[in-house]
Amino acid sequence: MLTGQVIAVTSGKGGVGKSTVSTNLAVSLARRGKNVALIDLDIYGFSIPNIMNLKDRPKTFNGKIIPVESNGVKVMSMGFLIKNNEPVIWRGPMLGKMVEHFSKDVMWGELDYCILDMPPGTGDIALDMHHHIPQSKEIIVTTPHQTASIVAERAGTMAFKAKHDILGVVENMSYFQPGEGEKKYYLFGTGGGEVLAETLGTDLLAQLPIQEPDQHSDTPAIYKEDSLLFQHYENLASLILTKTN
């Protein structure tokens, strides 16, 4: 059974870095000594096992699933249940059973935070998921592009209609800052996150820059201490701790 603060991370469309934000936020909270679960509910586009370079599958004990642990985070994903990257062909009723399965049949222990990586968009799958998950606080991920923020607004509206609170907006891919220089390049424009936060009546939690992944790391999308994004995620985790306590 899930305990602690439930935070759902969602977006209006795919490709904005929602799963990367979910993972790095979970890892940053775990660095603070928090007991954290990360559940990959992006059923058709699951990517958490790949982001965290998880090769092992969960084991079972007395009919319960033992979640895989990485970087201090307990992880569960549809990706653990699929062989050879096969597509998932499920409809609404099965999705509800899967959410129940992940919450009730997994040995999570006492949690401080449970991060849910939600399906993107506002279609039937995302809507069904919002109704099946526990009451949560939601983070909306967007890019600075005005069109992306307009699409993300729909995700925020859906959260309200499903009676979930919005914790704030994370603007990903905000700018590119090469080398040690101070000049920033706004490759996707500016202002999208600010406009979205204002429209939804919430806070802009973070503006995360673009950073080239460390190709020498086993987990290039989890940002280490020597990276620019490390401190950004540490700041985001601090803000989440403040807003949820």
- Structure-block tokens of residue 106: 């997994």
Q: Output the pLDDT for position 42.
A: 84
The answer to whether residue 178 scores a pLDDT higher than 90 is: no
Q: Which residue has 């991370």 as its token pair?
A: 9
> Mean pLDDT highest for which of 80-84, 125-129, 179-183?
179-183
Q: Output the pLDDT for position 235.
A: 97
When comparing pLDDT for 16 and 119, which is higher? 16
* Domain hosting residue 24, numbered range: 5-243
Domain count, the chain: 1
Q: How many of the other CB atoms lie within 10 Å of CB of 86?
A: 7
Which CATH number is 236's domain given? 3.40.50.300
Instruction: Read off the pLDDT of residues 44-53 as tens digits, 9 standing for 90 and up.
Output: 788 999 999 9
The answer to whether residue 91 scores a pLDDT higher than 60 is: no
Contact 17, 141 (CB under 8 A): yes
* Predicted TM-score of the model (pTM): 0.93
DSSP secondary structure letter of residue 179 = T
